[in-house]
Amino acid sequence: MKRLLAFVLVGCQSLPPGPPSAPSDTSLRAEMATVRRRDLKVSRTLHGTVLPVEQGQVLATAPNDGSVTKVLVQVGDRVIRGQTLVHLNTVFGQSGLQVIAQLEQSQSALNGAQQDLISARSQLAEAEADLGQFRSALSLARSNLGQAQAENHAAQRDLDRKRQALVRELFSQTELDEALARAEKSAAIRTDAEDQVKIALSNLPLAEKRVGEASQAVQFNRQQLALAQANYRRQSSILSQAGLVGSQLDPRLSQALLPPWQLTPAEARAAEFEVRAPIDGVVTDLKATLGLKVASGDCLATITDISTLYVEASAYESDLVWLQPGLELTCFSPGRPERKLKGRVHYLSRVVDPVTRSISLRARLKNPDGWLRPSMYVEALIQPAHPSQVLVAPEKAILNRGEELYVLVYHKDSPIERRSVTIGASSQGLVEILTGLQEGEEVITGGNLLIDQRDPSQ
């Protein structure tokens, strides 16, 4: 609600009386508005750029060293997965026959690594079995030693008892000799049991060492097997990605490594590869040119899946109060504003650009007909999911002095007050008041600049 209020600015000196005159030109007509709570629907039109998603951009690389003999696509062409992009002749690098030979070698190495691992596991099982036997033997030897010690102790006690009784003539010399023989025999048995325990104890560390060495051999052979499997997969992928153009090969050629000048025309064709598109999409970069010499792994083309793209846009720092992931974003091109695509914000940067004081956000968009293109300039409309009831005042009521924001508050029975405020989002000429004002207070919206240049108390 706005009201008009006339202010008359007078000087400090008293004027002499004179005839009535026309109203002074120091009269100011000020507009006022009441601070209220209301729904504030904020919307922003952001400027952005269309970019491909990271997972939707794939490189088509050269499987081997060679030279480009044919380029079948151009930048901007749509391709399907498996479509031939480039013909690559590897006669001057690694021939198709060598790839087959290397695949066979990697297969042989893989089989050998598997056999080595099986052998190492068998040796480990034997070492563990031997260790178990030695531990059982040690346990039995200790048990026999304990029994022999008990028998020897009993025989020695019986011998001592009969020696004492012989003095009193309770036992004969024959019985004493028998007790002595039993004591000596039990002592010999005990000594033998002690020797068996020592032997078992000496064998145990050797058996444990064999188990440790066998375990290390198993671990080593597992690593070798993993390397052989990786190498085999690499050679297989090279062969499957490139695909031999010559599908009919003489079996003898798979074992022959012929130099280029000895290749027949059929064998030379077998040294050509087709580099195919790894995914459906559009050729967005093409480095392959006729006659280009390339090395294994060199990028020949970039294929981009444009069925899903994202828009990267910059928002104002002040919009952080309502920006959040999940908000709907409507994207359109200035050239075709009627063509709109919708997506949702899935990324909001946590870093403010120190130069532009803006925040980067991204929204993923479905692009089924390919209307959007990477690097296209677009505009995007974004707004909060639901308008909120907030305290608002007209934007033109806000004045600033350096970094301080303030308003002129009108009081009916007291001078105008200059009061600092904190603001939030703004829309349609209104601004959210976070701190500094209360609902129902009146602020000056028109003429406030002139009033502020003078003492508000007047």
State percent of the chain over pLDDT 90. Answer: 15
| Cα separation, 248 vs 224, whole angstroms | 34
Residue-wise pLDDT tens digits, 9-19: 333 222 234 34
Q: Does residue 20 have a pLDDT over 70? A: no
Q: Say if strands 36-40 and 2-8 run parallel, antiparallel, or are unpaired.
A: unpaired
Q: Which tokens is 159 given?
A: 């011998």
Q: Which CATH architecture has domain 58-95+249-301?
A: Beta Barrel (2.40)
| Cα separation, 132 vs 100, whole angstroms | 48
pLDDT at 112: 86
Tell me the β-bridge partners of 46.
380
Same fold, 2-41+388-453 and 47-52+305-382: no
Q: Does residue 151 have a pLDDT over 60? A: yes
| Cα separation, 63 vs 84, whole angstroms | 14
Instruction: Say whether pTM exceeds 0.75.
Output: no
State percent of the chain over pLDDT 70. Answer: 78
pLDDT at 97: 58
Q: What is the mean pLDDT of residues 146-173?
A: 72
pLDDT at 261: 44
Within 10 Å of residue 18's Cβ, how many Cβ atoms?
Answer: 6
pLDDT at 87: 87
Reported confidence tier of residue 167, pLDDT bands at 50, 70, 90: low
If you search the block for the tokens 């994202």, which residue do you land on? 310
Q: Which fold has domain 2-41+388-453?
A: 2.40.420
Reported confidence tier of residue 248, pLDDT bands at 50, 70, 90: very low
* Of 435 and 337, more confident: 435
Query: What are the sequence ranges of the domains in the chain?
Result: 2-41+388-453, 47-52+305-382, 58-95+249-301, 98-239
Q: Which fold has domain 98-239?
A: Helix Hairpins (1.10.287)
| Cα separation, 449 vs 398, whole angstroms | 10
Reported confidence tier of residue 265, pLDDT bands at 50, 70, 90: low
Residue-wise pLDDT tens digits, 43-66: 778 889 999 888 888 888 887 777
Reported confidence tier of residue 255, pLDDT bands at 50, 70, 90: very low
| Cα separation, 89 vs 290, whole angstroms | 11
Within 10 Å of residue 339's Cβ, how many Cβ atoms?
Answer: 12
| Cα separation, 277 vs 286, whole angstroms | 12
Which of 257-266, 277-286, 426-435 has the least mean pLDDT? 257-266
Query: What is the distance, to the nearest Å, from the Cα of residue 179 to the centroid of all Cα atoms in its chain?
Result: 85
Residue-wise pLDDT tens digits, 83-128: 999 988 764 444 555 666 777 788 888 888 888 888 888 888 888 8
* Of 109 and 420, more confident: 420
Reported confidence tier of residue 385, pLDDT bands at 50, 70, 90: low
Q: What is the mean pLDDT of residues 308-322?
A: 84
Let me know if domain 47-52+305-382 sits in CATH 2.40.30.170.
Answer: yes
Reported confidence tier of residue 301, pLDDT bands at 50, 70, 90: very high
pLDDT at 131: 83
pLDDT at 77: 92
Under a CB-based contact definition with an 8 Å cutoff, are residues 409 and 394 in contact? no
Q: What is the mean pLDDT of residues 283-288?
A: 92
Q: Does residue 443 have a pLDDT over 50? A: yes
